[in-house]
Amino acid sequence: MELDAGMDTQRIAMVIEFDGRSFHGWQRQNNALTVQEVLELAISKVEGYSRSIMASGRTDTGVHAEAMLVHADISKARWQRSARAYTQGVNQFLPEGVVVMGVCAVDDDFHARFSCLERRYRYQIWNRSTPSVLAAWRHWWMPRALDIQAMQQAADYMLGEHDFGAFQATGCQAHSAVREIRYLTVKQQGWEVSIDIHADGFLYHMVRNIVGNLVQVGTGKWKADYIPELMQQKNRSIAAATAPAQGLYFSDALYPSFSARDLIGKESN
């Protein structure tokens, strides 16, 4: 059933967490289970009518999310009864592997995608001679030792606004490859290497392609100063292979007055 055109609605923002193993990415597909599909279905069951949602970004099969933000237009009367009950109601209808962690009312002109100022990702590498059997699906296993300092040096070349055509996957529909990377760090704690990257936006597979090239530097196959040359060439075919999906996490989305992480644990009208 579709929403009654005369019904008063309230736009809400939800922050969600999901395990990418369970889904074929974010965006709804005709022949595969996606996060968008199960979340829309859960909201529709609460609302009693079909409802579509918009997200701050898209993820591929196997990619995880710690704090992805979505918005939806729902019944104002139902929302005003209890934000907490609404969150619990949606979670009741969600399958294992995805959960709503917080929700709040937003203005009618708020848009999860177009109001977003910055998207943030983290990539995790398991850097040990043997893999992790407890969390193999959460990392890219890299048995060769990585030079973290060299990787950071290479990462620094990517900071700022550049044409990232060398890191743009085939099939990307973006009109321009120019993006601004505002933060890019490579850190190691124990066996885990974390690469955090924040930007105004990302091209298709851009983060995973950047990680693949940083690992080339980390293993000593490339020098760090090859990165600016690669960026200048804007040629994907001479860059490194794409890092696997399971190490990638959508970690946050920044808006003018809050971030997705700010909504975790929040349930307010």
Q: What is the pLDDT of residues 29-54, one digit of tens each?
A: 988 999 999 999 999 999 998 889 99
How many residues does this entry show for the chain? 269
Residue 261 pLDDT exceeds 80: yes
Please report which helix (H) or strand (E) contains residue 41, including its range: helix 35-47
Give a yes or no: residue 260 inside a domain.
no
Cβ neighbors of 136 (< 8 A, separation 6 or more) are 126, 246
The closest of 59, 60, 78, 79 to 69, measured between CA atoms, is: 59
Do residues 63 and 184 both lie within one domain?
Answer: no
Could you list the active site residues?
Answer: 60
Question: Quick one: angle between helices 226-233 and 206-218, nearest 10?
Answer: 150
Do residues 167 and 94 both lie within one domain?
Answer: no
Give a yes or no: residue 161 inside a domain.
yes
Q: What is the domain-level CATH number for residue 140? A: 3.30.70.660
- Residue range(s) defining the domain that contains residue 211: 118-252
- Prediction pTM value: 0.93
- Rounded-to-integer distance, Cα 8 and Cα 81, Å: 14
Q: What is the domain-level CATH number for residue 14? A: 3.30.70.580
Q: Could you give the angle at the alpha carbon of 46 between the alpha carbons of 40 and 51, nearest 5°?
A: 35
pLDDT at 269: 76
Token digits for 49? 């009518």
pLDDT-derived band of residue 63, with 50, 70 and 90 as boundaries? very high
Contact between 185 and 156 under an 8 Å Cβ cutoff? The reply is no
pLDDT-derived band of residue 74, with 50, 70 and 90 as boundaries? very high
| Average pLDDT taken over every residue of the chain | 93
Do residues 125 and 188 both lie within one domain?
Answer: yes
Do residues 110 and 125 both lie within one domain?
Answer: no
The β-bridge relationship of strands 267-268 and 98-105 is parallel
pLDDT at 43: 96
Contact between 77 and 6 under an 8 Å Cβ cutoff? The reply is no
Give a yes or no: residue 3 inside a domain.
no
Contact between 43 and 72 under an 8 Å Cβ cutoff? The reply is yes
Our measurement of the distance from residue 110's CA atom to the centroid of its chain's CA atoms, rounded to an integer in Å, reads 19
- For 165-205, how does the pLDDT look when each residue is reduced to its tens digit (9 = 90+)? 999 887 666 789 999 999 999 999 999 999 999 999 999 99
Question: Quick one: angle between helices 35-47 and 83-92, nearest 10?
Answer: 120
Read off the pLDDT of each residue in 249-258 and give the average, rounded to a whole number.
Answer: 97
**Phi-psi domain of 55 (left: phi exceeds 0; alpha: psi -120 through 50; beta: other):** beta
- Rounded-to-integer distance, Cα 255 and Cα 269, Å: 19
Do residues 79 and 146 both lie within one domain?
Answer: no
List Cα–Cα distances, 40 to 6, 70, 195, 221, in angstroms: 21, 11, 31, 45
